[in-house]
Structure 1
Amino acid sequence: MPGKRIAVIGAGVSGLGAIKICLEEGLEPTCFEGTNDIGGLWRYQVRDYEWQGKYYKSATSNTSKEMTTYRDYPSPDRFPNYLHNSRIMEYLRMYAQHFDLTKHIRFLSKVHSVRKRSDFSCTDVLVETTGKQESYVFDGIMVCSGLHTEPILPLQNFPGINRFKGQYTHSCEYRSPEKFQGKKIIVVGIGNSGADLAIELSHVASQVYLSTRRGTILNKFYPTFLINRWAENKLNARFNHDVYGLLPKHRLLSHQATCGDDLPNHIISGRVLIKSDVREFTETSAIFGDGTEEDLDVVIFATGYTFSFPFLENNATVLDSQHSMFKFVFPPQLEKPTLAFIGILQPVGATIPTSELQSRWAMRVFKGSNKLPSVRGMTADIRRKRKRFGKEFLNNPRDTCRVQYVEYMDEIVSEIGAKPNLPSIFLWDPKLAIEIFFGPCTPYQYRLQGPGKWAGARRAILIRRERIIKPLRTRTLICDQPPSSVPFWLKSACAALLFVLLRVF
């Protein structure tokens, strides 16, 4: 008997994972991709008819390769620990080829509408391919088109920008720095893209200004699981954010941290100057909130993106940026759970493993293996989370869909019964339990037990340290490997104590 038919919208990192999980669960996926290739935002293009996919040439992941991976397909150990966009594309192509995913993708196919049938049993999908429209019927829809569908260019917030005689643009149009040689440039916004562009442009520009309203915390190796005070002290020990003009008005974990390790060096050398928010523009300059004024040639708005789903009925109410979906996946008001959003969130960590877990849960709901709570139960959960998020995060577009990485993955994996049971693992494999407890929360641990178990998960966890070190060993040295920072006996003692405490409580 054929499996249920599932439509996957988008062949980026979330869409590829959704196709693979569909096949794993015995379902029949058809993926519709508007462009002619996989990769979504990670596919660098010099020029295209749309902005989508236009990452700048030097864009590099700000999460490590051991975190930025599908749970049953580690990236090659020869890859560097932080991947350039070309490496991520190479990994995605390897993944698609290994699991034979491409044959399930219909390229140059834009979804125009998704409409439920009157009995809610199936969904009609209207797709345009090479100028022709075709209609399909599916049992489930997975929206994997991503958060970054529409660039935000808030010109109304910057008086005078229309009379500015220089060039202004959104960061999504930026490719490389060559044409900005000798220019005076301001980058508005200090998110990851803003910091990256300011650093890169400072090598060719006569001066780069970086405008921020709130400041930011800078570090690629941020310890998100620790309390704010401890983490902020450690980060400030690296360099004083106040002295560098970066001291934020928020706590570390309440807003997205910026991953730009090179920025302090560029600030201290004067290549990048930190400025307050722009009050207004003149024909040739920007006037800042503190009253200072700087002459400019170019304005780049690194002001982020928003998401939009014009192909859905009641687009504005299905997803309203206010945590209106059950665990960021299922709209609670549907008569039957036939629609799931995958990767439409911002984890404080990597998207690939997070969206893959969402797909595993969604597929089991589509199949009937898992049941959702009642509408009342889902709505109550949404309200509780909305209230909690209001305390944890700023009321800011960058934080409307933000979740804590490990906490969220544990929550989703618990829905499908695949959360690793540490006491159980300790009994039959203490070495593995110790590595999980003391090591980073890599995606492989969610393939150790339960549905979707992967035979290679144990080995992937145990050799991850070697995988991290290997790309750094580009020079042959004859010496003993340095001892572990934590003695094995101490790890064993702590793990045993943890096991006892878990059994007791």
Structure 2
Amino acid sequence: MGKQSVAVIGAGAVGLATLKNLLEEDFDVTAYDKRQSIGGVWDFNENINYTSTLPATTSNVSKFKNCFTDFPIPDDMPVYLTSSQVHEYLQSYATQFDLYRHIRLNTMVRKVVRSADNAKWQLHLSSENGNEVIDYDKVVFCSGLTALSHIPEIRGIQLFKGKVLHSQAFKRPTDFAKMKVLVVGLGNSAVDTCTQLVGHAEKIYVSHRHGINIFPRICKGQPLDFHIRRRDEDLKHALTAVVPSLSQKLHDSYVQKLTTESFDLDPAWRIHPPPSILTHQPTITDSFINCLQDGSVASVVGIRCFVGDNCVELDDGSRIEADAVILCTGYVPDFNLMHGLDVTSSSTISNVSYGSPFPRLYQNIFSPEYPESIAFLNNWAATVAVFPIGDLASMAIAQVWKGAFSLPSKEEMHREIDAHHSWLCSLAKGETVYPGIIQEGPWMHWLHDAAGTGVNENLGYGFKGWFFWLRNPQFCNLLMGGLASVHVFRLFNGRRKKWDEAKAAILRANENAKLYINVK
């Protein structure tokens, strides 16, 4: 029958991993990206409609955790890479696995529609060579978690004469020299925006309605993600399965303790109490708290409305003058390219996910209507780093589509989606919940099962797990209690392609990690 054709939309980190993993399973794959270079958000772009890191951005996850499962970040790179270094790493990955010849850059995918005979997916493309339509058997959407900005409605915004922009359009802090700037939000984009404005803007306010779990990159003498051990994660997930409320309480207490031990927080800033770590991603910063302490950034309450040319009224009735407002208000999953397939149609309309219905996707990936040919890798949020999870999830897609792992029936998929939506709503408690939040323990377990990594079996507590420990006690203890290296995803024999150098890479990563213990 020949190879099945697959289109991958997006050539950022997840798109590159998806392209590589599908090629390994003998699919005929082409990746498309509207940008002029691979790398997605890690390639700085002046276009205000493209989300990108800034030249001064530093990764929030260490090089030991935010790398691909069979391609370690070089030893001579720092523990936390700059945006340009991450982009360089992605380019090296594409070169190492000969991906460039399967990528079309400067090509916009305008829409994806089902063919008249219901046999193919038609990609409508635009490039410098004009418009064209190409048929594919399957499509994976890797357009990123930050492609579609969320802009809230604020009363009286039409009265404001200053700049109003989403953080997606924030490219150069020098553009705000001598201005009074109001930054809205307290997530990673907000604190990065504030700290990069320091020294340029005349006055910087950060407006927020709730606190946040906030950490430095070096926490208690070691990189933050070194605190996450596989044994601890397994215990947390097991407790969550039995007593979810107690597990959440203990987990929240632990992460909040890390914050208070890392920073001297002034109650006036309202950083604590934060919402649960289950519903809000933590904020990583090395300098934001210092900016609050020295007064270069002022914490204020939420915006009530705009009341004049350059005046903003806050929830407490106070008013401030501002020349610009930067909305660091997050992103929502983008399904706009799909024509004729509404993946969000549901009777479960949520008032906690930016007023939109939750996407109806099995495991936040597969459309129950076309699970054999449509997959989304732009609708999940986890505490695990993006690069290895995109790698693992695309391994799972490849195994499903080659027929090596079966999905449940359409009816069962819908039942599981309904149960997941009910769980999401139970988390809200008056807070906005990102629709891509997953139950991390069961979700990761499913991905490993689908991809066939052997991790669940060999590092579990069944017969195979105990047998692996008896044969390799020292190495097994390192995997469970040492650095949680992502190369374990390629260690064991399984359905996905094994990496013969995985064990050596894990040992090397754990040895190299010692260089970053007890640092300041």
Bin the TM-score by the shorter chain.
Answer: 0.7 to 0.9
1:87-486 aligned at under 5 Å gives the runs 87-117=85-115, 120-154=118-152, 156-157=153-154, 159-220=155-216, 221=224, 225=233, 227-239=251-263, 241=265, 243=267, 244-281=269-306, 282-314=308-340, 316-318=342-344, 322-334=358-370, 337-392=372-427, 399-403=434-438, 408-420=443-455, 421-422=458-459, 423=465, 424-449=467-492, 450-451=494-495, 452-469=497-514
How far is the alpha carbon of 1:415 from its aligned partner?
2.0
Amino acid of the structure 1 residue aligned with 2:481: F
Distance 1:230 1:152 in 2: 30
| Structure 1 residue 327: Cα displacement | 0.4
Distance change >3 Å, CA 234–CA 37, structure 1 → 2: closer
Cross-structure match for 1:36: 36
- The answer for the alignment partner of 1:496 in structure 2 is none
Deviations 1:385-434 (A, max 9, x none): 22223334567666210235565323211123324212243133222211
Q: Normalising to structure 1: TM-score of the pair?
A: 0.86
C-alpha spacing 1:186/1:308, structure 2 compared with 1 (3 Å): same
**Contact in 2 for aligned 1:348/1:403 (Cα 8 Å):** no
Match of 2:56 among 55, 58, 62: 58
Q: Secondary structure at the match of 2:325?
A: strand
* Partner of residue 75 from structure 2, selected from 74, 77, 85: 77
Aligned CA distance change for structure 1 residues 241 and 326 (closer, same or farther; 3 Å) = farther
Structure 1 CA distance for aligned equivalents of residues 301 and 184 of structure 2: 10
CA distance in 1, matches of 2:124, 2:202: 51
1:304, distance to aligned residue in structure 2 (A):
1.7
Cα distance in 2, alignment partners of residues 100 and 317 from structure 1: 33
Cα 1:138–1:386 shift into 2, 3 Å:
same
Whether the 8 Å CA contact 2:334–2:378 is kept in 1: the answer is no
Distance in 2, matches of 1:440 and 1:68, equals 13
User: 1:315, 1:150 → 2: CA distance?
Assistant: 18
CA contact (8 A) 1:185 1:296 kept: yes
Distance 1:440 1:376 in 2: 40
Q: Which runs of 5+ in 1 are unaligned?
A: 473-480, 483-505
Matched with 2:10 is 10
- Deviation, 1:9, is 1.0
8 Å contact from structure 2 (residues 392, 451) kept in 1: no
8 Å contact kept, 2:113–2:122: yes
Note closer, same or farther for the CA distance 1:254–1:114 as it changes in structure 2 (3 Å cut). Answer: closer
**CA displacement, residues 45-99 of structure 1 (integer Å, 9 cap, x when unaligned):** 2x23x62143322222212111111100011111112221101100000000000
Between 23-32 and 319-328, report the one with greater CA deviation.
319-328
Query: Post-superposition shift, 1:123?
Result: 2.3
TM-score normalised to structure 2 length:
0.84
Using the alignment, how far apart are the partners of 2:369 and 2:396 within structure 1? 18
Structure 1 residues 107-133: Cα deviation after superposition (integer angstroms, max 9, x where no partner): 222223323345644323222232522
Partners of 2:341 and 2:298 in 1: how far apart?
41
SS in 1 for 2:215: coil
Q: In 2, distance between residues paired with 1:315 and 1:266?
A: 47
- Quote the Cα distance in structure 1 between the aligned partners of 2:367 and 2:200: 48
Deviation, 1:283, is 2.2
SS state of the match for residue 279, structure 1? strand
| Preserved contact between residue 379 and residue 435 of structure 2 (Cα < 8 Å) | no
Q: How far apart in 2 are the matches of 1:86 and 1:277?
A: 34
2:473 partner amino acid: P
Q: Which moved more, 1:119-128 or 1:222-231?
A: 222-231
- Indicate if the aligned counterparts of 1:43 and 1:53 stay in contact, CA closer than 8 A: no
Distance 1:429 1:392, change over 3 A: farther
Secondary structure of the residue aligned to 1:7 is strand
| Structure 2 CA distance for partners of 1:180 and 1:313, relative to 1, 3 Å | closer
- CA change 1:164–1:192 in 2 (3 A) is same
Shift of 1:318: 4.9
Instruction: Classify the secondary structure of the residue corresponding to 2:278.
Output: helix
Q: Against the structure 1 CA distance between its residues 42 and 9, is the aligned structure 2 distance closer, same or farther, given a 3 Å change threshold?
A: same
Amino acid paired to 1:9: I
Structure 2 stretches of 5 or more lacking a match? 217-223, 234-249, 346-355, 460-464
- Count of matched residue pairs: 468
Secondary structure of 2:8's aligned partner: strand
Change in CA separation of 1:125 and 1:252 when aligned onto 2, cut-off 3 Å: closer
Q: Identity across aligned pairs (percent)?
A: 28
Distance 1:21 1:102, change over 3 A: same
Instruction: Tell me the secondary structure at the aligned position of residue 399 of structure 1.
Output: coil
Q: Structure 1 residues 309, 399: CA separation in 2 closer, same or farther (over 3 Å shift)? A: closer
Output the CA distance in 1 between the equivalents of 2:333 and 2:341: 10
2:23 matches 1:23: yes
- Describe the SS at the equivalent of 2:123: strand
Q: Secondary structure at the match of 2:134?
A: strand
Residues 323, 132 of structure 1: CA spacing in aligned structure 2 closer, same or farther, 3 A cutoff?
closer
Q: Secondary structure at the match of 2:343?
A: helix
Relative to structure 1, the CA distance from residue 436 to residue 391 in structure 2 (aligned partners, 3 Å threshold; closer, same or farther) is farther
Give the conservation status (yes or no) of the 8 Å contact 1:256–1:398. Answer: no
Distance 2:486 2:357 in 1: 27
| Cα RMSD after superposing both structures | 2.4
Question: Structure 1 residues 289, 435: closer, same or farther in 2, change over 3 A?
Answer: same
Q: Which amino acid aligns with 1:211?
A: S
Offset, 1:218: 0.6
Deviations 1:246-268 (A, max 9, x none): 11452233322211232211111
